[in-house]
Amino acid sequence: MAAVRPLEDLLRRRARTPLALRAILTLVGLAVAGLLVLIAAFSSWYTVPTDSKAVIKRFGRVVAVTDSGLHFKLPFGIDTATVVQTERVLKAEFGFRSEAWSGPGPTRYDRQGDYDAESMMLTGDLNVLDVEWVVQYRLVDPDRWLHASRDPVDTIRDVAEAVMRRQVGNTLGSRVLTVGRSELAVNVAAEMQRTLDRYGIGVRIAAVEMQDTSPPEPVKPAFNEVNEARQERDRSMNLAEKERNEVLPRARGEAAQTISEAQAYALERVNEAKGSAARFSALLAEYKKSVEVTRRRLFLEQIDEVLPRVQRLVVVDPKAGGPLQLLDLDAPLKATGGGR
């Protein structure tokens, strides 16, 4: 009975409330209800861009990761959607910062600021270089990107700077300035990926691009002189190597040709000697068989070989007391109008 009396008193007081006041209260209630409905309507859906994903959290706990498009969630802040760009390649610049310039003409990026503290590095041969580079990366796991690290961007920058300093410290300065730049970028990207995988922040390194690499301004003139001296040394060495490559093969060829000619001459002389010895042995055997005939034949063969080259034949008779010309071999030539 005690609980019924307050209800009766409330109804009795409401019956005594003016009609206008009751209408205002009703309108206020309807407005509040309508506002709640609008808030629920606008907070129960969300859209995700094509290059992003959304992480859905319910009272702070991740319940889903949604792709691009229109999606619905619990209203009134029960579910919250955090959009993460997963398809866009992000970049971190070291040693400089590029800012877009939107003046007349095409858009360009100007380098701004002084960041020597992060670009000055010591090389393996104890030279100081100003190294500028860019790290490009993509977010492959939105959940871990949001919750595995307090500040993932700073983590990436710290890892990139530490890895680059270690790699440059293990490389000669001349290679960092010239042919070793591409290899250095590949090594830095691989080591960064291994380190970030251990941290588990959901990042994939797309590329590491080496930018301007030069000695510090105070020592640049001396450094350029050293480089010029090294280039001159390399040029002289290359010229000497070129001359060596030209002279040695030619000398080897000439030596081989001389050796081949000497071997051929030796073989020819040996064969001639063997032939002469064999001919002499054959003649000696024939001579022993018939001494007089062989002697006459040899005499006739020698005469037959010598006479065609004789131009004048003189027979000396000791009894005549002087030369007596028996055969004038020039006569046929004189008769035909030849002559010597």
In the structure encoding, which two tokens stand for residue 228, read together? 């010029």
Rounded CA gap, 331 and 337, in Å?
Answer: 10
Q: What is the pTM of this model?
A: 0.58
The pLDDT value recorded for residue 17 is 54
| Distance in angstroms between the alpha carbons of the first and the last residue of the chain | 177
The pLDDT value recorded for residue 113 is 62
Angle between helices 152-169 and 181-199 (to 10 degrees): 140
- Please list the residues that pair with 69 across neighbouring strands: 48
Q: Does domain 90-214 have CATH number 3.30.479.30?
A: yes
Q: Considering only CA atoms, which of 187, 92, 198 is closest in space to residue 137?
A: 92
Q: Residue 6's CB: how many other CB atoms inside 10 A?
A: 9
- Domain boundaries of the chain, sorted by first residue: 1-42, 90-214, 310-340
The pLDDT value recorded for residue 107 is 45
Q: Are 182 and 200 in contact (CB under 8 A)?
A: no
CA-based torsion, 65, 71, 74, 79: positive or negative: positive
In the structure encoding, which two tokens stand for residue 49, read together? 């861009």
The pLDDT value recorded for residue 75 is 84
Max intra-chain CA distance, the chain: 200
How would you write the pLDDT of the chain (340 residues) with one tens digit per residue?
A: 444 456 556 555 555 556 666 677 677 777 777 777 777 667 778 888 988 899 989 888 888 888 888 888 888 778 888 899 998 999 999 988 887 555 554 444 455 567 888 889 999 888 889 999 999 999 999 999 999 989 999 999 999 999 999 999 999 888 888 888 999 999 999 999 999 999 999 999 999 999 988 888 887 788 778 778 888 998 999 999 999 898 888 889 899 999 999 999 999 999 989 888 888 888 777 777 777 777 787 788 888 887 777 766 666 666 665 555 555 555 554 555 544 4
In the structure encoding, which two tokens stand for residue 180, read together? 């070793």
The pLDDT value recorded for residue 225 is 84
Radius of gyration of the chain (CA): 55
Amino acid making up residue 336: T
